[in-house]
Amino acid sequence: MVKDKVKVFFEERFARKDVCQVRLDNASFNTISEADSEMLTDAFSEEEIRAVVWCCDSSKSPGPDGFNFGFLKFCWDIIKKDVMLAVKDFEAIGKWPRESNASFLCLIPKVDNPRQLGEFRPISLVGCLYKIISKALFLRLKKVICKFAKL
């Protein structure tokens, strides 16, 4: 008897209903220009990546790799080739390698002697390379989105 009720419940729940679906026949959408499209998909330059690194706070918490932006800035002349290789790999493959996307969740106390979960602030420690790529993509996308916000 319970099986029958469960079966009827799911049959009714997932039965196809012939209701009018949303139609977009007469909708018009803004499109981006060819120049904006090229700008979004162009390869990142070393200057562009350096600007991203320099606009990030040097004293933020390090990621799972233990490095923060202060280290990257201090050692930029030594490690810029490796950073650019990682950026070029991302551009070539089109996705971030799973092992490079690790993050750690840390609980930072809000008060001196925390005793409850609400007395902690959760933060996620993400590696610098991930932050560089995401910020570089964001800054490009921001240029295009701002044009549509003005319309």
For the question of whether the overall pTM of this predicted structure is more than 0.75, the answer is: no
Report the percentage of the chain scoring pLDDT > 70: 95
Q: What residue ranges do the domains of the chain occupy?
A: 44-100+129-149
Measure the CA–CA gap between 134 and 108, rounded to whole angstroms. 24
Measure the CA–CA gap between 79 and 137, rounded to whole angstroms. 21
Measure the CA–CA gap between 50 and 69, rounded to whole angstroms. 11
pLDDT tens-digit profile of 39-60? 999 999 999 999 999 999 988 7
